[in-house]
Amino acid sequence: MPTVRFAGARIDCERGDVLRDVLLAAGLSPHNGRANDLNCRGHGTCGTCAVHVDGAVSEPTRRERLRLRVPPHDPESGLRLSCQATVEGDVTVTKFPGFWGQHVGDGE
């Protein structure tokens, strides 16, 4: 059973679970500020659930790759959309500042 580490929490989940769903079910959010209310609800179109993932997750979907090419995101940032990534093993997740979580390197 994979473990997701995020914001000081350890969450056990099933292999293949959607990362966004795992976080939300644990009472944690992959969104910053108003993005908690203003997001696409997991359809991969808004980009507000972008996070850095260290560990085993699925390959990026076509929708995810397309969205992460649109500013303010940068496809070279290494971010993933938590609504499009499925957990395949133990992972550590980091959320960066900014409405879309796009300020990589600016701290958690």
Is it the case that residue 20 has pLDDT exceeding 70?
yes
CB-based contact 23:29 (threshold 8 Å): yes
CB-based contact 81:68 (threshold 8 Å): yes
Structure-token pair, residue 101? 């979580």
pLDDT at 96: 97
What is the tens place of the pLDDT at every residue in 64-108? Answer: 999 999 999 999 999 999 999 999 999 999 999 999 999 997 655
Outline where DSSP puts E strands in 1-108. 3-6, 9-12, 50-57, 79-81, 87-94
How far is CA 32 from each of CA 13, 15, 62, 99, 108, rounded to the nearest angstrom? 23, 26, 24, 6, 11
pLDDT at 105: 77
Structural domains in the chain, CATH included, are 3-94 (3.10.20.30)
pLDDT at 107: 53
Structure-token pair, residue 62? 């076509």
Considering only CA atoms, which of 99, 81, 98 is closest in space to residue 19?
81
What is the tens place of the pLDDT at every residue in 93-105? Answer: 999 999 999 999 7
pTM: predicted TM-score of the whole model, two decimal places: 0.94
Residue owning tokens 């850095």: 52
What is the tens place of the pLDDT at every residue in 25-50? Answer: 999 999 999 999 999 999 999 999 99
- CA pair distance 14, 6, nearest whole angstrom: 16
